[in-house]
Structure 1
């Protein structure tokens, strides 16, 4: 990172401190795995989109023809791209996951390629960015393309994932599962805008919803299904499957996912897949897509996406003659292991980028069953997620917002206008933890150091123990005061009135 200023001596002491924080934010964003670039291939477009382009498009510089939805350095390239002599230095950067795995079945060599592209339009962390915005963009939107290359023949299949496209939030507050808040107002135009964009980009939509039917997730499911029922778009089909109810929270009945796959058989067949010969002749095109989601669009979503992709890959391998008629991928143990691990690695990376830890339920993807080690790792990752989502995701959210240009640091910040980094905490943030530490320490001292009068000692233990309990309860009650909150963009909840004003403004413009 090169500074365009020769000195920082003109900055005030507070500005210097803020400047260090901003540099740390940028470095934190860049340290997140996994960024990719290519000097020759356009990673931001699927094979099918690239095949439908003109010669003029292919001759354009990579940064000009890249899909802006998946270009993570689009903001920082703006000034460089205005100077044609610098275009050769302007390579679009993709954030997501890529693996290229040389594989062998029946002595026939081919490449199995997996590319996941994270969208920049509503990016963020697990709890701070949920649902949809007024532009119709959803949180954690990822396009995943599976490519098969055999003797220069290429096959491609694309799926997407994205948060439930209604206005909802789930702010961290020290509880393991914060309460989900659904905006009561009805904004069908924003919902419709999202799916109009999806149909335009991908064709027919088969929406696979995997959230729980009970609790607050159930309320989201009802709202989602109601929007789809009321929608006038005929290129949408809704398929609901309560993953946890059908398979059990521990996944002991994972084989029941076959129920869902049977329901999707006709859709997989109808959607088809993209296939291109080595001379560039297109033999078939994908005409629809599966848009899958659970509550986070991570663990359950990845399991189902991998199963759908395996059915499609089975058809492609058979058509190319790599698999014999009647032969199954699961019968090819070496490749089946490779395939499962590619998708499990994809799940881990997607989860780290959104939730901060590796994915849950990857033992189902890797081994096709629930294991004791898998359950143990899920517990560990859930614990790490809890701490990261509550105590470090505010900083991580700010790092992405700064890097992507959602927040611009102004020259006079900290002098003419206040810096958002200088926001002060409520008194409870400082007072209650101090009371808890002192009370707990005094309680331990009273327990460890004996007193001649046992009744007096018990009274002190009871007093300081009660103080410890009450202060801990206060921390839990005022949990939102103690979490790490973003300071740049997502510092406050959007109220119903703010949503209404934003939607009205969007409609007017």
Structure 2
């Protein structure tokens, strides 16, 4: 861009107050893995409190026509570090307008919400701008936005290139990557990294870096900003994949469930165009899926104390999917739905696979659990060819590794589906074993009730776990890493969700049943994620959904699968080539240059994704193929406290500042604006709360199993996939609500319970029979004459039942303390212990029951009888 004293484009920004992003001192990371945050040896606390960052959420672009921009061969973007007030911005704009009055002054071009980046084809530079956005998720008060509309603006000239020119063809190819579909960004939250990384790394700006593997506009940003590491406030990384968020309503408590899928930009492309791996170890269809659970009693990542990132209500679990890391492909010349699979090159040392797994160790730590779901035995070998070679790969690499770092599990999921094998049950057993080995992330100490449960189970005192970290990851694959992989990840995600909810103190056991509202919602979220990834990579929705593996609606599922298979075959045959060209241009894999063949003149894009043999880097050791610092196993040891818990908060700079990150999530809470619930994203997101309730006995718990799929209630789901249509009768019922006879009787009893009590004045010796004959007159008289020397402890008579209740509540804390100290002193039938458990159950569910069993769930007779006895006794007392 030209110098700012006479620019073609000037930018006036709208930003929040200068915010503290966090500290960034020169620190050496041992590895970019999830499991081990960097050491605090060189941490500068003073520098941490000085670091600031601007949040540029909207800007206005202005244009002048005072310079010649038809022959610009180099792009020079200059940033002004000064921060201007609104009046100063107006003065600058007025000065630019006056200075360029001869050439037309200063013209407003557009308003935008961010810069995707810059690109040049054959003639000049273009700037890609975000014109429309919509919130997709809310994490810690930080919005994640979906790009709804973009605009490609020419910097050099306003005239459009000729219709059939090479420039216009490159523009059309570039725009085949639809940025309005499944591209996401955030101004204040690093969506290129996991929640565990973001909440455990020191928040120093100089140490801040995006995960370039998932920054899809990396090439576009480098064209303008040279490097993503220069910490420019204008840099806005964009990920490609899927983001969705739903709300679990637990008796008024809101639990946010977020699903984020990040696609790798390395070796990216369409299904039959990108298979296996390249020689740098990057695999096709590499997707990182993160499942975040947050209890929203406190929104921010920071609690009310004096520490950073100490909110214990956040949890996440990360999974990975990716193609089999071998050199294999499928021949497209035959034009059949399932082309034959061939291994193009066999490396006896499996160098590409070694690079792939070494990269995964750096990203996730150890162990890496490989779950291979392809067919193992076939009459005409196809998938099994890769299965045998993949098993040999793991066996070779494992012989040099320490134990339990790389595990391989092969399970023919297709065969199990066609047989009588319980696919869901088998996969759940795998999931529980895998999650126990990798662990999951929890941002704070476990709830005290979980410690008590563990003490009861172990029979001895237990220490409270201060934090949880995920070390390692489950890597799932089938042939396409779409259908079977998505079903397996859903089951793993269900088991992980149960552990996450248990760790947050939401449920009392780490298990949630199928056909409950929460699992139905999770299933739909994973189905939409699977459909989205399948469309991006394969050209159609999922072929096999979870209903197929649960053997539900077999006929409708079969017809659906046939239709989706036809769509996938058509797209693979006729549209994948254009899709692959667009991705190569967008990612900068192919850069148009003079004297270089055009993209459409290349026979294939092989040279764009593989190293030139003439300039290949030196080969790594065939034996010591891994990075030692990355092998950090989860051995069950308690992690040390996160670095942020040692970082003191700086003094507030503003009167209304209660948090060092004020303004970082001010886009969610807007104290200076009037709004309504209907406009709040957090209020309108999908929820397990039912829209319509059929009867007064409806159980609002999202963990209750519903009777049958066809009878499920209308629940606000991602696509309302299990919603039933309303009938005129239901509509009339909603417009004219009726109160049940039981509820009306209870209401009348409540309002009439003191009707017989006389409206008497203070007793003065009056012998009015309506007063003296009342059963409570004696107590009332003594209390009114307490100043006359009456001893209330002697003359105030209390019912024996009240004495018993008082003594029980007085002694209960002592007995509970004894129970906590000696877990096995009271046997399971102890009345005190059962009373404590009943109280715990009432706090969680709002119901009275015997330890959450019998009267609370299945024993309806007991429940009704108990309720009847209570009403009877209550009426007797009245």
Which range, TM-score by smaller chain? 0.7 to 0.9
Alignment of 1:413-452 (within 5 A): 416-422=595-601
Match of 2:407 among 222, 237, 255: 237
Q: Distance in 1 between matches of 2:554 and 2:213?
A: 38
Q: Which structure has more RCO (C-alpha within 8 Å, separation ≥ 6)?
A: 1
Report if aligned partners of 1:202, 1:287 keep a CA contact under 8 Å in 2.
yes
The 2-side partners of 1:7 and 1:346 are apart by 40
Per-residue CA distance 1:366-408 (angstroms, 9 max, x = gap): 9773532222121111101111101110000000010000000
Matched, 1:218 2:384: yes
Kept in 2: contact 1:165–1:191 (CA 8 A): yes
Shift in Å, 1:504? 8.8
| 1:225 CA drift (Å) | 0.4
Maintained 8 Å contact 1:80/1:87: no
Q: Deviations over 1:23-65 (max 9, x none)?
A: 11111112572000111111110011112322314x67xxx62
* CA distance in 2 between partners of 1:92 and 1:2 (Å): 19
Query: Is 1:70–1:120's contact at 8 Å kept on the other side of the alignment?
Result: yes
Per mean C-alpha deviation after superposition, the further-off stretch among 26-35 and 36-45 is 26-35
Aligned to 2:314: 154
Tell me how far apart the structure 2 counterparts of residues 341 and 25 of structure 1 sit (CA, whole Å).
34
| TM-score where L is the length of structure 1 | 0.77
CA 354–32 in structure 1, closer or farther in 2 if over 3 Å, else same: farther
Q: 1:41 aligns to what? A: 189
For the residues of structure 1 that align with 2:339 and 2:374, how far apart are their CA atoms?
Answer: 16
Say yes or no: does 1:102 pair with 2:247.
yes
SS at match of 1:172: coil
Matches of 1:67 and 1:218, distance apart in 2: 35
CA distance in 2, matches of 1:83, 1:293: 34
Q: Match for 1:506 among 605, 617, 627?
A: 617
Mapped to 2, the partners of 1:394 and 1:282 lie a distance apart of: 52
Q: For 2:352, what is the secondary structure of its paired residue? A: helix
Task: State how 1:119-268 maps to structure 2 within 5 Å.
Answer: 119-150=264-295, 151-152=297-298, 153-173=313-333, 174-186=335-347, 187-203=349-365, 204-213=367-376, 214=378, 215-231=381-397, 232-234=400-402, 235-248=405-418, 255-268=422-435
Partner of 2:261: helix, strand, or coil? strand
Asked if the contact 1:75/1:405 (under 8 Å) is kept, the reply is: yes
Structure 1 residue runs without a partner (length 5+): 424-486
**Distance verdict in 2 for CA 1:86–1:2, change over 3 Å:** farther
Q: Deviations over 1:441-476 (max 9, x none)?
A: xxxxxxxxxxxxxxxxxxxxxxxxxxxxxxxxxxxx
1:202 and 1:380 map into 2 onto residues whose CA distance is 38
8 Å CA contact retained: 2:221, 2:227: no
The answer to whether the aligner puts 1:4 opposite 2:158 as a matched pair is no
The answer to whether the 8 A contact 2:242-2:261 is kept is: yes
| Residues 103 and 335, structure 1, Cα contact 8 Å, conserved in 2 | yes
Q: What is residue 477 of structure 1 aligned with on the other side?
A: none
**Pair 1:53 & 2:201 matched:** yes
The 8 Å contact of residues 172 and 389 in structure 1, kept in 2 or not, is answered as no
Give the 3-state SS of the residue equivalent to 2:165 in structure 1: helix
> Match for residue 436 of structure 1?
none
Tell me how far apart the structure 1 counterparts of residues 156 and 443 of structure 2 sit (CA, whole Å).
50
CA contact (8 A) 1:337 1:366 kept: no
Offset of 1:82 from its aligned partner? 3.9
| 409 and 193 in structure 1: CA distance in 2 versus 1, 3 angstrom threshold | same
Paired residues of 1:343 and 1:365 also in contact (CA < 8 A): no
Q: How far off its partner does 1:262 sit?
A: 2.0
Indicate the SS of the match to 1:290.
strand
* Higher percent of residues as helix: 1
Corresponding position of 1:30: 178
Once the 2 structures are TM-superposed, how far is the Cα of residue 277 of structure 1 from its aligned partner? 3.1
1:469-488 counterparts in 2 under 5 A? none
Secondary structure at the counterpart of residue 283 of structure 1: coil
For the structure 1 residues 508 and 86, does the alpha-carbon distance in structure 2 shift closer, same or farther, using more than 3 Å as the test? closer
Distance 1:282 1:378, change over 3 A: farther
| Whole-Å separation in 1 of the counterparts to 2:250 and 2:556 | 30
Distance (Å, rounded) in 1 between the aligned partners of 2:569 and 2:227:
46
Comparing 113-122 with 375-384, greater Cα deviation is found at: 375-384
Q: Answer whether contact 2:319 2:475 (CA < 8 A) is retained.
A: yes
Q: TM-score, normalised by structure 2?
A: 0.45
Give the Cα separation in 1 of the matches to 2:550 and 2:423: 16
Shift of 1:264: 4.3
After superposition, the Cα gap between the structure-2 partners of 1:31 and 1:47, relative to the gap in structure 1 and judged at 3 Å, is: closer
Q: Which has the larger radius of gyration?
A: 2
Asked if the contact 2:581/2:599 (under 8 Å) is kept, the reply is: no
What is the CA–CA distance in structure 1 between the aligned matches of 2:363 and 2:249, rounded to whole Å?
33
Q: 1:193 to 1:339 in 2, by over 3 A?
A: same
Offset of residue 267 of structure 1: 2.5
For the 8 Å contact 2:543–2:561, the answer to whether it is kept is: yes
Structure 2 portions without partners, runs of 5+: 1-151, 299-312, 447-464, 621-878
Q: 1:223 to 1:366 in 2, by over 3 A?
A: closer
Q: Is the 8 A contact 2:315 2:441 kept in 1?
A: yes
1:324-343 equivalences under 5 Å are 324-325=508-509, 328-330=512-514, 333-343=516-526
DSSP-derived class of the 2:535 partner: helix
